[in-house]
Amino acid sequence: MTRRYILEISVESVEAALAAERGGADRIELCSNLREGGTTPDAELLRGVRERARVPVLAMIRPRGGDFLYSEGEFAAMRGSIEAARGLGLDGFVLGLLDAEGRVDVGRTRELVEWAAPLPVTFHRAFDACVDLRAGLEDVIRTGATRVLTSGGKATAPEAFPILGELVRSAGERIVVMPGSGLNAGNIGEAVERTGAREFHAGLSSVVARGAGEMEEFEREVRKMNLALRR
């Protein structure tokens, strides 16, 4: 029986990737520096996760924290990171570029999407910094990206369920709108009902404490989300 919903979990270590997989994650977003919103992982981390995880692994392509307006040198580095990750067997990429006016940089994003082909690209939460989310959605669709990760322009997705539902409906079958940020087992059911989305993203930083036993707790929380979605 085909599963109805997809659960993507963001991680920054081999241990967390394997814990997420054991908990039932369908896909991994692999980053470094999650506290900065995620940056490009180094080759050792990419290789380590790809060699041991069985589920699809998407690599974050972001040369630094901060804004999403990149120099020519940074843009070239992003192309190089895509090529390096492809060579290590990654299954797709997560990236996003804005222009100086706070709109999706359609031209340069499309160039990276084409460079990544045939592997899929997720436009990440740079989307939430757009001056106009509805226009931004149309722009992301024009780039050829497969999906867009968004919290509806708010700090967390639960604050924006009505907006997310509107984006899902506007997108239709043209692109996947994937709510993320602040989702957990306690609110994922409401997220399904109020947004109509089919794919969901979580890092679980708000419900998993750092320290001893962190990976065990992380795995339990992923499993709880997985079970909630199966219901």
Q: Give the 3-state DSSP-derived string for the chain, with helices as H, strands as E and coil as C.
A: CCCCCEEEEEECCHHHHHHHHHHCCCEEEECECHHHCCECCCHHHHHHHHHHCCCCEEEECCCCCCCCCCCHHHHHHHHHHHHHHHHCCCCEEEECCECCCCCECHHHHHHHHHHHCCCCEEECHHHHHCCCHHHHHHHHHHHCCCEEEECCCCCCHHHHHHHHHHHHHHHCCCCEEEEECCCCCCCHHHHHHHHCCCEEEECCCCCCCCCCCHHHHHHHHHHHHHHHHHC
Contact 143, 113 (CB under 8 A): yes
Residue 207, pLDDT above cutoff 80: no
139 part of a folded domain: yes
1 part of a folded domain: no
Percent above pLDDT 90 for the chain: 89
CA–CA separation, 163 and 195 (whole Å): 8
pLDDT tens-digit profile of 73-88? 999 999 999 999 999 9
Q: What is the pLDDT of residue 1?
A: 38
> Measured at the alpha carbon of residue 204, what is the angle toward residues 196 and 136, in degrees to the nearest 5?
45
> Measured at the alpha carbon of residue 96, what is the angle toward residues 57 and 155, in degrees to the nearest 5?
90
pLDDT band of 34, cuts 50, 70, 90: confident
Residue 164, pLDDT above cutoff 60: yes
Averaged confidence pLDDT in the chain: 94
Q: Residue 158, preceding bond cis, omega within 30 degrees?
A: no
pLDDT tens-digit profile of 89-128? 999 999 999 999 999 999 999 999 999 999 999 999 999 9
> Token digits for 131?
């001056």
The pTM of the full predicted model, rounded to 2 decimals, is 0.94
Q: What is the pLDDT of residue 209?
A: 61
pLDDT tens-digit profile of 171-200? 999 999 999 999 999 999 999 999 999 999
Domain count of the fold of the chain:
1
187 part of a folded domain: yes
Residue 36, pLDDT above cutoff 80: yes
Q: Which residue has the tokens 């790809």?
A: 50
Q: Domain limits at 133?
A: 6-230
Residue 222, pLDDT above cutoff 90: yes
Q: What is the pLDDT of residue 54?
A: 96
155 part of a folded domain: yes
Residue 3, pLDDT above cutoff 60: no
Q: Shortest CA distance to 128 belongs to which of 143, 150, 102?
A: 150
> Token digits for 62?
């972001």
Q: What is the pLDDT of residue 93?
A: 98
pLDDT (average), residues 6-24: 96
Dihedral angle sign, alpha carbons of residues 127, 133, 136, 141: positive
Terminal CA-CA length for the chain: 14
Tell me the CATH number at 120. 3.20.20.380
Contact 200, 180 (CB under 8 A): yes
